[in-house]
Chains A and B, each alone.
Chain A
Amino acid sequence: MSTILIIFCVLSAVTLATAFLTIFSRNPIHSAIYLVICFFSIAGHYLLLNSQFLAIVHVIVYSGAIMILFLFTIMLMNLNEEKEVHRPRITRLGAIVSFCLICLILIAIFINSKPIVGEYVTTGEDYQSIKVLGKVLLNEYMVPFEFASILLLVAMIGTVLLSKKEKLQK
């Protein structure tokens, strides 16, 4: 086994374990912390795939912005772990069974599609440096880029309107 494969296996184990712990931990703050670790390991995967800019943006956006938003919302709501009532056992059993079935079906599909995937060849061409990404983003994807800014503006206005305290109707 090469070193890169070992790094990949360790990162994948961390990703999957923290994703499971996110779902299974009782305290929502613990879930958020585990999710931060999961996002950091996914950024490690991006680094392993040699896309450094995306890894840094991922850390900034997800581990920085989104998780801070989650943590502040959790603290705003003052959630206790005792408050949560569990689902009936049949629902949980159904969730577990459907999880196993989806995993089985998707993995079976991708195992059978392996001959189509084929072998990997490198041409040595530069395709994921910041320079190339910026050129692609601002030449071919100029219009979606502007629409993304409009989307963020609309989301900001909507968030302010939604979380504003409503006055009592008279």
Chain B
Amino acid sequence: MNNILNHIGIENYIFLSVILFCIGVFGVLYRRNAIIVFMSIEIMLNAVNLLFVAFSTYHQDAQGQVFVFFSMAVAAAEVAVGLAILVSIFRNLGSITIDNLKNLKG
């Protein structure tokens, strides 16, 4: 159990997190519900975290995992602020489809 990457290989983790990241990008482009867009951003962050942990195991270095802790803290703060913004948008506009938010377009 001490060398998991001998059984699986780092390439499989790379491919998994690449596909997961692309699913996140796809969700941002495909849906117009702002909450689902936020969930897709979470999926992207998780894909990157997974790759960090895989490479931390690969290099046998704890710093990758420490970085994942920081990115989790940033993700938690981002979600809290983002959802507060969504709630206030919903109060003002009555819906959270992101196509309504084009006041800056001019």
Question: Contact residue range for chain A?
Answer: 35 or more
Q: How far is the CA of A51 from the CA of B88 in the complex (A)?
A: 39
- B contact residues around A46 at 8 Å (CB): 50, 53
Instruction: Tell me, in angstroms, the Cα distance from A38 to B96 when the chains sit together.
Output: 24
Counting chain B residues whose Cβ lies within 8 A of the other chain, the interface size class is 35 or more
B54 to chain A, nearest CB (A): 6
CB-CB under 8 A from B65, the residues of chain A are 51, 54, 128, 133
CB nearest neighbor in A for B52: A54
Assess whether B7 is in contact with A5, with CB atoms less than 8 Å apart. yes
Chain B interfacial positions (CB closer than 8 Å to A): 1-16, 18-27, 29-33, 35-36, 38-40, 42-43, 46, 49-50, 53-54, 56-58, 60-63, 65-66, 68-70, 72-81, 83-88, 90-91, 95-97
Q: What is the interface of chain A, defined by CB distance below 8 A to chain B?
A: 2, 4-5, 8, 12, 15-16, 19-20, 22-23, 28, 31-32, 35, 38-39, 42, 45-46, 48-51, 54, 57-58, 61-62, 65-66, 69-70, 73-74, 76-77, 79, 83-87, 91-92, 94-96, 98-99, 102-103, 106-107, 110, 114, 117, 120, 122-125, 127-128, 132-133, 136-137, 140-141, 144, 148, 151-152, 154-156, 158-159, 162-163, 165
